[in-house]
């Protein structure tokens, strides 16, 4: 395996009733800025639980962080945090609220001229406000990593950033908060977690068998639990297992010392930026196509995946890989996430600006840096 550094200081407080622990976890002597999204937390009781736990603390609220959180919105929160001298950020919501709050934390402390540079040019940051989260949507893993993806509405761009300063100090994961989620968000979350694992697994062998098996553990558990959530949406145990899978899918453990891909995410981000598709939807569209396009480069790992995760026996590597891709695509569909552009009313021709964007940037994607703009076009053609 390759040399690596692993460091994940986020404290996880997991289980029913754990929102009450905010009373001991959030600092008493700081103004807390509570950030949230579209307001579902006010309807499902989570907001009330949070406020009850925070008690007499000075708390400001900033709502309206949208899915694919927007730079423009977040900068309003930055202004509020600065004006009020907020000393602690508490994100209550899913990955978008969390990602947005990481950006707020970094931007408040940013000393450069324009915080957009943190995203667009990866300008280095030297600090951030401490942040924590109450997670309500298992999907992105943002609750236990330092990364964030932020969009700019005005330019339809979407960029990632991360820093050792933007790990949540703690994250509270109460599976009961997910009971009221719409089916679509649950489904997207399952696909998101699955493909996070794949981005770190479906590459090439560097003799890191433990990391591979740890990844396969998440795959198999997602495949096992996903049908159960559809059968009985209010099973605490199923929700708990899905939640923990999503966290373990992207907290840095399975990527220790191995090559990573992330081309599906890069292409998917453009589909969201251009057409407004959900993040999970874009991944479900691009990932099977990308596997098919990269079949020869990923063959050995796809065959291992087919045999160990899907239990395919007695076929050649090529047949196993092909069947594994088909079963995975069928899995995404069975969860409720369509896997073809046409199912979202998007034609291949509509995607030309994406190819053009990658061409202009000169991007080379994937674990070999071999996916150029032309290859992106070929992959998108396989998504129809």
For 15, the token pair is 């289980």
Residues in region 14-53 near a second copy by CB under 8 A: 14-18
Per-residue burial over 216-231, b = 16 or more CB atoms within 10 Å of its CB, e = otherwise: bebbebbbebbeebee
Q: How many other β-carbons are positioned within 10 Å of the β-carbon of residue 24? A: 9
CA distances from 52 to 66, 77, 85, 335 (A): 25, 23, 22, 36
Q: Between 189 and 288, name the residue whose CB sits nearer to a second copy.
A: 189
Residue with tokens 């969201």: 272
Q: Between 35 and 225, name the residue whose CB sits nearer to a second copy.
A: 225
Residue 218, interface with a second copy (CB under 8 A)? yes
Residues in region 231-250 near a second copy by CB under 8 A: 237, 240-241, 244-245, 248
Residue 313, interface with a second copy (CB under 8 A)? no
Q: Between 311 and 345, name the residue whose CB sits nearer to a second copy.
A: 311
Q: How far is the CB of 187 from a second copy (least distance, A)?
A: 19
* Count of residues in contact with a second copy, rule CB under 8 A: 42
For 227, the token pair is 């049908």
Residue with tokens 């063959």: 299
Give the range of 133-141, 252-260, 267-275, 282-290 binding a second copy by CB under 8 A. 252-260
Q: How far apart are the first and last CA of the chain?
A: 37
Residue from 51, 120, 123, 253 touching a second copy (CB under 8 A): that is 253
For 363, the token pair is 């991007």
Q: How far is the CB of 117 from a second copy (least distance, A)?
A: 26
Residues in region 156-175 near a second copy by CB under 8 A: 170
Residue from 12, 187, 202, 382 touching a second copy (CB under 8 A): that is 12
Residue from 51, 75, 256, 299 touching a second copy (CB under 8 A): that is 256
Residue 1, interface with a second copy (CB under 8 A)? yes
Distance CA 61, CA 66 (A): 15
Residue 76, interface with a second copy (CB under 8 A)? no
Q: β-pairing, 147-152 with 157-162? A: antiparallel
Residue from 133, 225, 320, 339 touching a second copy (CB under 8 A): that is 225
Residue 177, interface with a second copy (CB under 8 A)? no
Q: Between 210 and 330, name the residue whose CB sits nearer to a second copy.
A: 210
Residue 221, interface with a second copy (CB under 8 A)? yes
For 333, the token pair is 């569909």
Q: How many other β-carbons are positioned within 10 Å of the β-carbon of residue 207? A: 9
Distance CA 225, CA 229 (A): 7
Residue 154, interface with a second copy (CB under 8 A)? no
Instruction: Identify the helix (H) or strand (E) that includes residue 328.
Output: helix 317-335
Nearest Cα residue to 225 out of 212, 235, 215: 235
Q: Where are the beta strands (DSSP E) in 199-336?
A: none
Residue 376, interface with a second copy (CB under 8 A)? no
Distance CA 169, CA 27 (A): 11
Q: Which residues bind a second copy (CB under 8 A)?
A: 1-18, 170, 207-211, 213-214, 216-218, 220-221, 224-225, 237, 240-241, 244-245, 248, 253, 256-257
């Amino acid at each position: 395996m390759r040399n690596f550094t692993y460091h994940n200081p986020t404290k996880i407080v997991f289980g029913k009733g754990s929102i009450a622990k905010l009373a001991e976890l959030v600092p008493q002597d700081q103004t807390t800025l509570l950030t949230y999204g579209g307001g579902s937390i006010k309807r499902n009781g989570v907001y009330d639980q949070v406020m009850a736990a925070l008690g007499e603390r000075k708390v400001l609220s900033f709502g309206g962080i949208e899915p694919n959180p927007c730079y423009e919105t977040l900068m309003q929160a930055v202004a509020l945090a600065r004006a009020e001298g907020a000393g602690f950020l508490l994100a209550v919501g899913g990955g978008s609220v969390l990602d947005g709050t990481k950006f707020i934390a970094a931007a408040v402390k940013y000393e450069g001229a324009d915080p957009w540079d943190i995203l667009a040019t990866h300008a280095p940051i030297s600090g951030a406000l401490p942040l924590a989260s109450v997670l309500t949507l298992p999907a992105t893993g943002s609750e236990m990593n330092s990364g964030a993806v932020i969009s700019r509405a005005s330019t339809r761009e979407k960029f990632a950033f991360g820093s050792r300063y933007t790990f949540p100090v703690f994250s509270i994961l109460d599976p009961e908060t997910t009971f009221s989620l719409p089916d679509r968000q649950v489904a997207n979350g399952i696909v998101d977690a699955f493909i996070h694992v794949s981005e770190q697994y479906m590459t090439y062998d560097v003799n890191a068998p433990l990391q591979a098996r740890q990844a396969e553990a998440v795959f198999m558990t997602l495949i096992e639990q996903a049908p159960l959530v559809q059968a009985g949406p209010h099973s605490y145990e199923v929700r708990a297992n899905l939640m923990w899978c999503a966290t373990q899918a992207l907290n840095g453990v399975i990527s220790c010392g191995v090559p990573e891909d992330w081309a599906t995410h890069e292409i998917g981000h453009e589909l969201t930026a251009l057409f407004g598709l959900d993040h999970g939807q874009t991944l479900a569209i691009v990932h099977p196509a990308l596997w098919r396009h990269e079949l020869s480069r990923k063959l050995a790992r796809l065959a291992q995946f087919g045999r160990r995760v899907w239990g395919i026996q007695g076929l050649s590597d090529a047949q196993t890989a092909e069947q594994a891709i088909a079963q995975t695509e069928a899995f995404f569909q069975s969860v409720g996430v369509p896997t073809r552009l046409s199912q979202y009313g998007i034609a291949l021709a509509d995607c030309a600006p994406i190819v053009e964007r990658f061409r202009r940037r000169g991007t080379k994607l994937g674990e070999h840096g071999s996916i150029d703009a032309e290859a992106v076009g070929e992959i998108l053609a396989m998504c129809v």
